[in-house]
C-alpha cells in the first residue's frame, strides 16, 4: 500500500531551506578569509540541491508515487547537514568571528531546526513504518558529564549510524515547550524512541544495551 503525506513535504522543505540558509550564512561569516570563488561555489551547489529537491517533490506528487523511501533519504541528508552546522557552531573560533547577537540568532534558529527535524522523523516513523533512530540530547556546555556524554554519543553514531540532535538545555525560551513536555530537570538527558527519557550520564555499554533491546 502506498503511503503519502503531502502536507509533511512542506515541513521537510522548510527545514531544508533553513538548513541551506544557516549553512551558507555561517560559512560566509566564519570564512571571511576564504576566496570568494569558494563561497560562491558553495552557494551555487546549495541552490542546485534545493531546486532538485523541490522538483522531485512535485514530480512524486504529480505521478502519485510512494514517497516514504525518498523522504527517508532526504531526512538522512538533512541529518548530515545539521551535523555540519552544529560542528561549525561549536568551534571555538566561531563566536570570535561572529557578533554575539548574530551567533545567538543562529544558534536559536539551529535549535528550532533540529526540533522540526525531530518531529519530521517521528512522523516518518508513524506514517511510513520507518525508524530514523534519532536521539534528542539535552546538554549543558559547562557540565563535565554533558561533555563526556557527547563523546560517548559520537562513538554510538559511528557504530550504529544513528542521528543525535544536541540541544543546549535552557538556552532560550524558544524551545521551552519541548523541555516542559519532557520535564527536563537535569543534564545530560537523552530522549530515545520519542518518549523514553534517560537522565544522567550513560556509558557506551549502557547505551549499546539499550539500543539493542529496543530492536530485539
CATH architecture entry for 133-216: 3-Layer(aba) Sandwich (3.40)
Q: Global pTM?
A: 0.72
With left for phi above 0 and alpha for psi between -120 and 50, is residue 64 left, alpha or beta? left
Q: What confidence tens digit (pLDDT) does each residue in 99-135 have?
A: 788 778 878 888 888 888 888 788 778 877 777 689 9
Number of neighbours of residue 183 by Cβ within 10 angstroms: 9
Pick the most confident of 63-67, 126-130, 156-160.
156-160
Mean pLDDT for 177-202 is: 94
How does strand 163-168 pair with strand 134-139?
A: parallel
Higher pLDDT pick, 95 / 35: 95
Burial class for 212, CB neighbours closer than 10 Å (0-12, 13-18, 19+): exposed
Q: What confidence tens digit (pLDDT) does each residue in 4-63 have?
A: 445 555 566 556 656 656 665 555 555 544 433 343 344 345 445 545 655 765 676 676
Pick the most confident of 72-81, 113-122, 143-152.
143-152
CB proximity list for 74: less than 8 A, separation 6 or greater: 12, 16, 53
pLDDT of the residue at 3 = 44
- Residue 189's φ and ψ, nearest 5 degrees, are -135, 135
Q: How far apart are CA 173 and CA 137, in angstroms?
A: 17
Mean pLDDT for 61-84 is: 70
Number of neighbours of residue 184 by Cβ within 10 angstroms: 19
Q: Please check whether residue 207 is in contact with residue 188, taking contact to mean a CB–CB distance below 8 angstroms.
A: no
pLDDT band at 187 (very low <50, low <70, confident <90, very high): very high
- What are the extents of the domains in the chain? 1-131, 133-216
Cell triple for 77: 541528508
CB proximity list for 62: less than 8 A, separation 6 or greater: none
DSSP character for 4? -
Q: Over 89-155, what HEC string results?
A: HHCCCHHHHCCHHHHHHHHHHHHHHHHHHHHHHHHHHHHHCCCCCEEEEEECCCCHHHHHHHHHHHH
pLDDT band at 140 (very low <50, low <70, confident <90, very high): very high
Amino acid at each position: 500500500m502506498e503511503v503519502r503525506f503531502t502536507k509533511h513535504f512542506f515541513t521537510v522543505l522548510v527545514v531544508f531551506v533553513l538548513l541551506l540558509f544557516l549553512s551558507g550564512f555561517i560559512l560566509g561569516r566564519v570564512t571571511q578569509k576564504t576566496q570568494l570563488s569558494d563561497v560562491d561555489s558553495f552557494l551555487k551547489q546549495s541552490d542546485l540541491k534545493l531546486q532538485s529537491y523541490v522538483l522531485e517533490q512535485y514530480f512524486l506528487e504529480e505521478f502519485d508515487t510512494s514517497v516514504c523511501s525518498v523522504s527517508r533519504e532526504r531526512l538522512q541528508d538533512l541529518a548530515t547537514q545539521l551535523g555540519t552546522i552544529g560542528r561549525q557552531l561549536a568551534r571555538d573560533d566561531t563566536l570570535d568571528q561572529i557578533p554575539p547577537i548574530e551567533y545567538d540568532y543562529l544558534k536559536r534558529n539551529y535549535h528550532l531546526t533540529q526540533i522540526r527535524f525531530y518531529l519530521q522523523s517521528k512522523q516518518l516513523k508513524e506514517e511510513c513504518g520507518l525508524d530514523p533512530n534519532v536521539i534528542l540530547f539535552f546538554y549543558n556546555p559547562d557540565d563535565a558529564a554533558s561533555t563526556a556524554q557527547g563523546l560517548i554519543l559520537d562513538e554510538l553514531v559511528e557504530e550504529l549510524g544513528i542521528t543525535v540532535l544536541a540541544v543546549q538545555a535552557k538556552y532560550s525560551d524558544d524551545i521551552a515547550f519541548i523541555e516542559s513536555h519532557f520535564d527536563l530537570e537535569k543534564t545530560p538527558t537523552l530522549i530515545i524512541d520519542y518518549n523514553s527519557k534517560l537522565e544522567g550520564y550513560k556509558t557506551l555499554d549502557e547505551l549499546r544495551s539499550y539500543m539493542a533491546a529496543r530492536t530485539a
